[in-house]
Structure 1
Amino acid sequence: MPYLNDRVLDNGLQVLDTEADKILICSAEPATFTAANATNALGNKTFSAGAAFGSPAVRSPSGRKVTSVAISDGTVTGSGTASHWAVVDSVNSRLLAASSLASSQAVTSGNVFTLGAFDIGIPGPA
C-alpha cells in the first residue's frame, strides 16, 4: 500500500502557509502571476506573509490541507464578473494557487468583497 508521511505532504502546503501574501478575485482563471495580479484582477486582500492560511492539517478522507482565512473586507479594484480566486506570493511574483469561486459574482470598483474560508489540499496516496 502506498505511503507518504505527513511531513512530505506538509512541505508542499507550507509554501501557502508561509509565502502567500495576497488573495485576489479574478474575471478568469489566471495561469500566471501577471494574469492574477493585473490582467484578470478585480479585487484583492493583502496579508502579511504567513497570515492568509493556517498550518497544514488533516484532510478528509486522506492527505493534508491548509485553510484560508475568511475575507470580510477585500477591496474591489475593477468592475466585472468575479469567477475565480487566486493566491499569490507578491514578493517573488509567483502564482501559488487558483480555482473557481462557488458562484460568479458581479463586482463594482470601489466596493468591498467577502470570501469564505476555503481549503487547498493534497490527497494521500492511493
Structure 2
Amino acid sequence: MSFLNSLVLDNGVQYLKDHANRLHICSSQPADYAATLVASLGTKNTPAVSVPAARAPSGRKVTVSAIGDGACSANGDASHWALVDTVNTRLLAAMALDAVLAVNNGDTFTLPAFDIGIPGPA
C-alpha cells in the first residue's frame, strides 16, 4: 500500500496559503503569470486561503473563501480563476469557473468558496 505523510501533502497546499496573494478572473485559462495578466478581467487582492485540511476521500486541501468584493477591470466573459504570487511573479493555480461570468469594467464580482487539493496516494 502507498503512503504519504500529511506533512508532505501539506507543504504543497501550504505554499498556496503562504504565497497566493491575488486572485484573477480570466477570459481563458492562463499558462503562466504573464498570461494571467493578459487574460485578467478583474482581481481580488489577498484572498483568504485556509490552513491545510483533510480532503475526501484522501489527501489534503485548502479552501479559498467566498469573494464578495472582487474588482472588475475590463469588459468580457470570465471563464477561469487564477491564483498568483505577485512577489515572485508565479501562477500558482488556475481552473475553470463553474459558469461563465459576464463582467464590466468598474463592476464588482463574486465567487463562491472553493477547494484546491492534492489527492493522497493511490
Instruction: State the TM-score, normalized to the length of structure 1.
Output: 0.95
Alignment of 1:15-54 (within 5 A): 15-36=15-36, 38-47=37-46, 52-54=48-50
Identical positions, percent: 55
Runs of 4+ in 1 over 6 A off after TM superposition: none
Of 96, 101, 106, the residue aligned with 1:110 is 106
The code of the aligned residue for 1:60 comes to: A
Deviation string, structure 1 residues 40-60 (Cα, Å, up to 9, x no partner): 00000001xxx6311100000
Give 5+ residue unaligned stretches, structure 2. Answer: none
Matches within 5 A, 1:66-81: 66-81=62-77
The secondary structure found in structure 2 opposite 1:11 is helix
Separation (CA, whole Å) in 2 of partners of 1:73 and 1:17: 20
TM-score (norm 2): 0.98
Between the aligned partners of 2:120 and 2:42, the Cα distance in structure 1 is: 33
Letter aligned with residue 44 of structure 1: T
CA distance in 1, matches of 2:56, 2:33: 30
Q: Can you give the 5+ residue segments of structure 1 that lack an aligned partner in the other structure? A: none
